[in-house]
Amino acid sequence: MRAESIPAPGLPTSWPHSEAHVRDLTPAIADRTVVVRADEPAADHTSVGLHRQRLIADRGFTLIELLVVILIVGVLAAIAIPAFLVSQAKAGDAPAMELMHTAQVATETAALDAGGSYTGITAARLHEYEPTIATSKKNAAAYVSAVKTTTATYKLTVTSVLTGTKFVLTRSATGTIARSCTIASKTSTPGGCEEVTGTKGTW
């Protein structure tokens, strides 16, 4: 490092060298002395600013910020997942309820051909009346799993392949139609089966 003393402006380069003059001018010269460091470059404000921005960008998340994010994700999941499961179950039960309507129409048609009697109507016979009626779960979204009949009554059961829910339609001797359903287990999503108590409900 090299230090240079620069005379203050306005001061003569030479002055009387008497001891009194030197004593009087020394404070003024000391106050105006500038130290120049030849080996120290001027500060680069641009690089300092970039370095500060890089430090801020690399700071990452604090623990509180991470906890807030986890809390928000948890709340959204608690709302969205059950709604998604219900929608999925309803979509899986829709073919079963549609098939039940088709099976009911086929049952009434077969009874008309038999003089108004429901006796002897089976799932296979319903399939003969309507080929779209599935009688097994193979390659089907829903199928007629049981048919019980008497002369004046019948009970049709359709099972959803996706959810395992059984939909039942019963006709009494007076012509009253009752609908009930049974979900696969108490922990199953109801889907198209509503007002479920335990595993039993209506549709």
**Using one digit for the tens of pLDDT, what is the confidence trace for 186-200?**
999 999 999 999 999
- Determine how β-strand 166-171 pairs with β-strand 154-160: antiparallel
CA-wise closest residue to 89 among 160, 165, 163, 186? 163
Q: What is the mean pLDDT of residues 132-145?
A: 96
Residue 34 pLDDT > 50: no
CA-wise closest residue to 130 among 104, 158, 95, 152? 104
Q: What is the mean pLDDT of residues 48-67?
A: 73
Q: What is the mean pLDDT of residues 140-149?
A: 97
Q: What is the mean pLDDT of residues 152-158?
A: 98
Residue 59 pLDDT > 70: no
Nearest 5°: the CA angle 197, 202, 203 is 140
Nearest 5°: the CA angle 132, 147, 189 is 75
- Neighbour count for residue 94 (Cβ, 10 Å): 16
pLDDT number for residue 83:
87
Residue 3 pLDDT > 80: no
Tell me how far apart the alpha carbons of residues 186 and 105 are, in angstroms, rounded to a whole number: 32
Residue 20 pLDDT > 50: yes
**Beta-bridge partners for 201:** 181
pLDDT number for residue 49:
65
Helical residues (DSSP H) of the chain, grouped into ranges: 19-31, 45-57, 63-113, 123-129
User: What is the three-class DSSP state of 71?
Assistant: helix
> Model confidence over 75-118: pLDDT tens digits?
988 898 888 888 999 999 999 999 999 999 999 999 999 999 99
Q: What is the mean pLDDT of residues 58-68?
A: 83
- 175 Rama class: left (phi>0) / alpha (psi -120 to 50) / beta: left
Q: In the chain, what percentage of residues exceed pLDDT 90?
A: 63
57-80: buried (b, 16+ CB within 10 Å) or exposed (e) per residue?
eeeeeeeeeeeeeeeeeeeeeeee
Confidence grade of residue 56 (pLDDT, cut at 50, 70, 90): low
- Most confident by average pLDDT, 19-28, 34-43, 58-67, 134-143: 134-143
Report the largest interatomic distance among the alpha carbons of the chain, rounded to a whole angstrom.
Answer: 147
Q: Are 203 and 167 in contact (CB under 8 A)?
A: yes
Sheet holding 200-202, edge to edge: 142-149, 154-160, 166-171, 177-182, 200-202, 194-197
Q: What is the mean pLDDT of residues 122-138?
A: 96
pLDDT number for residue 60:
72
**Beta-bridge partners for 147:** 156
